[in-house]
Amino acid sequence: MWLGGYFFWIILAPVFLIGGLFLLFIVSSITGFSLIDLFASLNNQSTTLTCWHCGKETPADRRLCRHCKQELQ
């Protein structure tokens, strides 16, 4: 019954929604992984890119090299 009250839907639900989006933004900025990259990785998981910095292969769904943490180009 508490979830059906006005207090939850007017005050707490928007706070939880904004907090969840903020947490998602922080996690994606720290890991270098965005939602668009997630959709791309679901479609094509076998493609790899070779890093210009260390020369090792990294999955194409990542923005940063898995080994040297430099941005893939």
pLDDT given for residue 17 in this prediction: 94
- Residues 3-38: pLDDT tens digits? 677 877 788 889 999 999 999 888 878 877 766 777
pLDDT given for residue 18 in this prediction: 95
- Tokens describing residue 24: 């998602």
CA distance 45 to 23: 26
Residue boundaries of the structural domains of the chain: 1-31, 33-73
- Residues 31-63: pLDDT tens digits? 777 667 777 767 666 778 888 889 888 887 788
